[in-house]
Amino acid sequence: MKQTIKEVDVQGKRVLMRVDFNVPIRDGEITDDRRIQMALPTIQTVLERGGKVTLMSHLGRPSGNGYEAEFSLKPVAVRLSELLNEDVSFDESSDKAVVLRENLRFDSREKAGDEAFGASLAEGCDIYCNDAFGTAHRNHASMVAVPQQMEGKPRVAGLLLEKELKYLDESIRNAEPPFVAVLGGAKVSDKLGAIERLIGTVDSIVIGGAMAYTLLAAQGVHIGNSLVEEELIAQSKEMLEVAGAKGTTIHLPFDHVCAPEIAAESAAVVESGDIPDGLMGLDIGPETTSAFADICERAKTIVWNGPMGVFECPAFSKGTKGVANAIGNATEKGAVSIVGGGDSAAAIAQFGLETKMTHISTGGGASLQMLEGKEFLSVSLLDDTV
C-alpha cells in the first residue's frame, strides 16, 4: 500500500500536487468539471490542515513549443476558485494557499520526462503528491522526474489515486466469484493484453463492440463489412482456445444491430448469425443484450472497459445501455462493479447510471494497462505505508 496525503504532516508545508485537470473546454467554458471535482478532497485535506498546494496538470495536446491560448488552464483556475471558495493564483511565484501552474505540456520537456524540468517543478516544495491516475501510465516529468528529484522528501498518493489503486488492483486481485469482465470498443488489439491476462482469472469475458468481429471472424462467422483486424484473426483463434482450456468462457455476440454506415439516419436492422455483405455490426442485438445482461446480473465482481456499440448514436445504443443497467442492478444486489474510464464512463454518464456503479475510473488508458497487469513507475516511486 502507498502512503497517502492524509498520513503526512502538511502544516506550514507546500505540497506539489499532480492532478488531472484535462477537462473539455469549448469557447473558453468548461463543459464537464468532474475531474476538477474529484481532486477537491485531496486539495481540501491539505488546506484544512494548514498546508499550501501548488497544482500542476496538462490540458489537451499542445505542440510543446510554448503558450497556446486554446489549451490554457486559466478557465480551470477560475472554476477551481469557485469550487474551493478560495482564490486560486495563476502566478507560479505566488505564495498563496492555492497556486495552479500553466499547462505543463506547453514545455516539450514534460512529455520527454526531462530531469532538469522535473527539478525546476519541484523547487521550493516540501511534499510531492500524485493524484493523477489518468496519466499514471505515462513517464512524463511531472509523474516520474519530479518524485525522483524529491527523493528524501515525502512522496505520497492523493485520495483519488488511492481509490483507483484500491479498486483496480486490490478488488480485482481479491475478486469474489462469479467474476465477469465486460470488454468492448473498436479494436481487439487495444484489449488483447487485458484479455490474455484475464483468461484463467475471471469466470466469463463478454465481448461486444467492433472488436468482437475479429473474434467472430476467427470462429468462421461471416461479418459483412464490420470492422476487422485481419492480422489478428489467427492469434484471436488461438486465444479463444486457450480460454476454453483455462476455464474462462468467452461470450461473443450472436445477433447484431447493423447498418450500411455509422450515421443517425442509417436504417438499422437486426441480423442473427452471419452478417450480409454491405452491412456492418454497430451494436449487439437484443438477444445478445439479454444474454450478456443475465451474465452480469449474476456476477459478484464486474470489470467493464469499452462500450458494446456506437452508443453515441441512439440507434446503436441499446446494447451498451442494457449491459450498463444490468451491471447497475448487480451492484445494487451487492456486487462490486469497476468501470474503466473513457467511453465506458461517458456511456454511464449518458445513461445517468453513475450512482449505480461501485467505482468509475478517471483513467481510460491507465485502467486498461492496470487490467493488463502493468506496473506504473509513477506509482512505484511513491512511499510505501510504514
Q: Do the beta carbons of residue 271 and residue 279 sit within 8 Å?
A: yes
| SS percent in the chain: helix, strand, coil, step 5 | 40, 20, 40
| Residue in 74, 187, 197, 237 annotated catalytic | 187
Residue with cell 486465444: 239
Marked catalytic residue, from 224, 322, 342, 364: 342
Active-site residue among 60, 193, 365, 373? 365
CA–CA gap between residue 348 and residue 360 (Å, rounded) = 9
Active site residue 247: no
What HEC string does 70-123 produce?
A: HHCCHHHHHHHHHHHCCCEECCCCCCCCEEECCCHHHECHHHHCCHHHHHHHHC
- Residue 211, classed as helix, strand or coil, is coil
Show the cell assigned to 369: 494497462
18, 35, 101, 318: which one is catalytic? 35
Catalytic residue status for 35? yes
* All cell numbers assigned to 59: 490540458
**Residue 342 designated active-site:** yes
Q: How far apart are CA 276 and CA 211, in angstroms?
A: 18
Cα distances (angstroms) measured from residue 235 to each of 106, 188, 240 = 41, 11, 9
Give yes or no: 187 in active site.
Answer: yes
Return the DSSP state at 267. -
| Enzyme catalytic residues | 35, 187, 342, 365
